[in-house]
Amino acid sequence: MTASRVDAAWAVLHTVLDPEVPAVSVCDLGIVRDVIEHDDGLEIVLTPTYSGCPATEAIEHDVLAAIAQAGLGQARATLRRAPAWSSDWISDEGRAKLKAYGIAPPAHLTPEAAANTAMPIKLFGRIAGERIACPRCASERTERLSAFGSTACKALYRCIACREPFEHFKPI
């Protein structure tokens, strides 16, 4: 195994932006799960945020194009849907980038929720005690306007304090 080639691939993948949230890389979001070197090239293991995520094909394309442009040789993408992606896979740097971009990052799941793979995604109502802080002014005086934002993984909120609308990346 050539560690330098795998390391170079990781460095390149950290520059590939998510097509739906271009403030964060596919690595920041935890979509890139692994980079494996095989005799016939690199395997980039991806876990989409949703099994039906419409950006999956674009992400595969962008990842493979970035590897090719970097001159790292043959590569293929493998989709791994199990375990299912979790918002807990978003890096701390990714959470900070989401907030700076104007999207409230998701809260970390409780250990019980993280362990419960049968737990459904909550579309209506907040999780008990959950406070969504405005990414612009940090006020927790916010209200949800819609369970769905510009993508299925986000909800639309409004800050009552500064009156600005913003999206919240849903915890799953």
Based on the fold, state whether residues 108 and 147 are members of the same structural domain. Answer: yes
Copy the structure tokens of residue 91.
């890096």
Q: Among 79, 111, 128, where does a domain finish?
A: 79
Backbone angles phi, psi at 17, to 5 degrees: -80, 150
Residue in this structure with the two tokens 């991806």, named with its chain if needed: 46
Domain holding 19, by residue range, is 3-79
Does 8 map to a domain? yes
Does 87 map to a domain? no
pLDDT confidence bin for 128, thresholds 50/70/90: low
Does 96 map to a domain? no
Cβ pair 81, 47 in contact under 8 A = yes
For strand 154-159 and strand 142-146, is the pairing parallel, antiparallel, or unpaired? antiparallel
- Residue 89 DSSP SS3: helix
Closest CA to 169 of 21, 2, 45, 7: 21
In the predicted model, is pLDDT for residue 154 greater than 80?
yes
Does 35 map to a domain? yes
**Calpha distance 87→70 (Å, rounded):** 29
What would the pLDDT profile of 55-81 be if each residue is shown by its tens digit? 999 999 999 999 999 999 999 999 999
What would the pLDDT profile of 2-58 be if each residue is shown by its tens digit? 569 999 999 999 999 999 999 999 999 999 999 999 999 999 999 999 888 889 999
Q: Among 11, 46, 79, where does a domain finish?
A: 79
Provide the pLDDT for residue 1: 45
Specify the pTM.
0.84
Helix pair angle (3-13, 56-69), 10° resolution: 130
What would the pLDDT profile of 79-126 be if each residue is shown by its tens digit? 999 999 999 999 999 999 999 999 999 988 766 655 555 555 555 544
Based on the fold, state whether residues 112 and 57 are members of the same structural domain. Answer: no
The size of the chain, in residues, is 172
Indicate the helix (H) or strand (E) that contains 69: helix 56-69
**Calpha distance 154→151 (Å, rounded):** 6
**Calpha distance 9→101 (Å, rounded):** 26
Based on the fold, state whether residues 119 and 155 are members of the same structural domain. Answer: yes
Does 26 map to a domain? yes
Based on the fold, state whether residues 108 and 63 are members of the same structural domain. Answer: no
- If one counts the domains in the chain, the total is 2
Strand partners of residue 165: 158
